[in-house]
Amino acid sequence: MLKLKVNDIDVEVEEGLTVLQACEQAGVEIPRFCYHEKLSIAGNCRMCLVEMEKSPKPIASCAMPAADGMVIKTNTEKVEKSRKGVMEFLLANHPLDCPVCDQGGECDLQDQSMFYGIDKSRFKENKRDVPEKYMGPLIKTQMTRCIHCTRCIRFATEVAGVPELGAIGRGENMQITTYLEKAMESELSANVIDLCPVGALTSKPYVFEARPWELKKTETIDVMDAVGSNIRVDTYGWEVKRVLPRINEEINEEWISDKTRYACDGLKNQRLDSPYMKKNTKFEKISWKEAYNKIFEKISETPSEKIAALTGDMTNMETMFALKEFFEKTIRSENLDSRVDNLYVNTSDRENYLLNSSIEGIEDSDLIILIGANPRFEATMLNSRIRKAYLNNHTDIFCLGDIGDLNYPYEVLDNSTKTIKDIVNHTHRISEKIHNSKKPIFLIGQSALKLKSSPFLFEELKKYLIKNNKINDNWNALNILSNDASTVGSNYLNIISSNDGTNKTIDKISNNQIDVLFLFGQENLKINKKNEFIIYVGSHGDKGANLADIILPGAAYTEQDGYFANIEGKIQKAYKASYPPGEAREDWEIVNELAASIKRKKLFEDKDDLINSMNNYLNLNKQNKKFSIPKYEFIDEKITINEIDYYHSNVVARASKTMTECKNLRSNFKKTGTEG
């Protein structure tokens, strides 16, 4: 530990910290513009100047390593004068357009200028004028406001892994731009908006929409993928205006993906606000009572074994549990599932479907093997952790098959299941490397779990890892990458009709054995409708609604409280930020009212009763359940990663104009030969 003094306060800090970090540990706030905890040190702005004993002039605290015996002063006249001089230089070319700047009210430059600014400028020359730069449909630029902190450049290069943002010119003529003035190709590109300490980079979809003090702010979680990124939803009245990241070092650090941030405009498009019934191929508005009566009539004349339900990719745990109780106690049917294909899931043990190494633990790994997974598009925040592991630990990364650009180098192995067989038999060329690895990660994606040989692939790999002590009390190398926010929660609640790699519910639907089918937010059904009577419950008029005979309008993820379990198994709560439109209701309420219309008795008295019942169920089922592992055999087949429509992966994203613009831009992107 290093001992130093900050404003006559004795401080002990770890070796390797900077003077700025030491000051902050002493409770002294240091102004800064270029410094950021997650980026490399640049030392550009000089706003963090402090006085150090025996130093003839102030030092930049962000770039000076802390040393034993240092005496630091941050509140002297010399320091204040130095910071005022820096601020005067920063404001010399900065336009005085705060009233029309979207950064107003959230601007670091505004805040610091209140402390260190002066009321008159000595700068008499003409101010520089920098033309607006094009950075795509998400980022609006006003580069005349830029103070050359280079945070955006460092983020693009270091975190996002797309070094396409850089600087041209020198001194006050320096300009930050994409080299060919094209859109940034990263799924994390919009994080530069949060990083920009001034109004040079702002949100293009949000431009002139609202002021920060006008917005209601709700802290919640993201459901665009299974990572469970912590976010803040800002609403103006009913409308969601923007989504921002919240700091959670264990999950998303302080970043979010572009889809998480900008898909929110899909919440106001194609919304279902009233019950509908299909009459003569056309949908007509009906009342809730009419809808429930029609469903009751249909269920009354249908045997229970011919009634089924499928949950969707953004269905919360309360709704799934209510639906489970509805099917077990009211319908008395076992045809309930959360999958739309024969995805192999062994729910006998929770580690069989979780990311056991943890999201944060990826940074500690020394070997990563991707099997049927594309983390860049399936879990963008997870992919940034893998890149971080590569940069910090020089982690070896192998992929079964060529996935494409993951923003870090990897070695391509044969994309055959035989590769897994060779690994577990210790005959593959990387077997020795796996054996010597202390913290390996096998990341299995859903593309690999949909194969005919998935039971073999999973069970043999698990046996191999246990035998070689890669699954122990300190480390678990077996990791499953789920794509959807509801997947782990549905496994917790056993919303699954079989554990043997088949899907009895889907098989029955495919074989025309189901007469009444409930779709709860399920948009990915890959079968052609035959004679089924389909009841769709959801928020948007999308694929599921088009198949339906009756539509019941539900609430979106920002319009109801709900629990979700992320890929690590952490149960997180999404909070209500706005209200469903029109006559739409929360999903669990619809299930409760359906039960009341059929059996004249509600399943739950209220939401609290539902949550208590669900918690009791989860506590009772914490113990591993014993299932007989299905007979499996090796089949030599190709592991093909399913093509992912990243910008249109769910119903909210498909309704988003911004995501559609991003998708069109990506599909129309022309290679120039400079991509590398």
Q: Which residue has the higher pLDDT, 38 or 179?
A: 38
Instruction: Give alpha helix (H) positions in 326-379.
Output: 375-378
Q: Mean pLDDT over residues 593-601, rounded? A: 90
pLDDT of residue 626: 58
CA distance 444 to 101: 46
Is a pLDDT exceeding 90 seen at residue 584?
Answer: yes
- Alpha carbon distance, N-terminus to C-terminus of the chain: 44
Is a pLDDT exceeding 90 seen at residue 498?
Answer: no
pLDDT (tens digit per residue) in 150-192: 999 999 999 999 988 999 988 888 999 987 788 888 999 999 9
- What is the DSSP track for 444-487? EETTTTTSTTHHHHHHHHHHHHHHTT-BSSS-B-EEEE--STTH
Q: Going edge to edge, which strands form the sheet with 550-553?
A: 282-285, 276-279, 550-553, 533-538, 516-520, 307-311, 336-337
Q: Please state the pTM of the whole predicted model.
A: 0.92
Tracing tokens 């060529």 back to the chain, one arrives at 402
Banded model confidence at residue 674, pLDDT cuts 50, 70, 90: very low
CA distance 231 to 357: 23
Banded model confidence at residue 625, pLDDT cuts 50, 70, 90: low
pLDDT (tens digit per residue) in 544-575: 999 999 999 999 999 999 999 999 999 999 99
What is the crossing angle of helices 607-620 and 587-599, to 10°? 90
Quick one: DSSP state of residue 41?
-
pLDDT of residue 1: 86
Q: Mean pLDDT over residues 74-95, rounded? A: 91
Is a pLDDT exceeding 60 seen at residue 675?
Answer: no
247: which residues sit within 8 A by CB, 6+ positions away?
A: 230, 253, 254
pLDDT of residue 627: 62
CA-nearest of 274, 272, 277 to 550 is 277
Q: How deeply is 362 buried, as exposed, middle or buried, from its count of CB atoms within 10 A (0-12, 13-18, 19+)?
A: buried
Is a pLDDT exceeding 60 seen at residue 383?
Answer: yes
pLDDT (tens digit per residue) in 231-289: 999 999 989 999 999 999 999 999 999 999 999 999 999 999 999 999 888 999 999 99
Q: How deeply is 654 buried, as exposed, middle or buried, from its count of CB atoms within 10 A (0-12, 13-18, 19+)?
A: buried
What is the crossing angle of helices 317-325 and 607-620, to 10°? 80
274: which residues sit within 8 A by CB, 6+ positions away?
A: 285, 553, 582, 583, 584
* 57, 66, 164 from 50: Cα distances, Å: 9, 13, 34
CA-nearest of 82, 163, 86, 88 to 120 is 88
Element (H, E) at 85: helix 77-92
User: 499 is written with which tokens?
Assistant: 């554990």
pLDDT of residue 668: 63
How do strand 516-520 and strand 478-481 relate by DSSP bridges? unpaired
CA-nearest of 233, 380, 265 to 652 is 265
Quick one: DSSP state of residue 648?
G
How do strand 9-13 and strand 2-6 relate by DSSP bridges? antiparallel
CA-nearest of 299, 269, 258, 41 to 138 is 258
Is a pLDDT exceeding 60 seen at residue 664?
Answer: yes
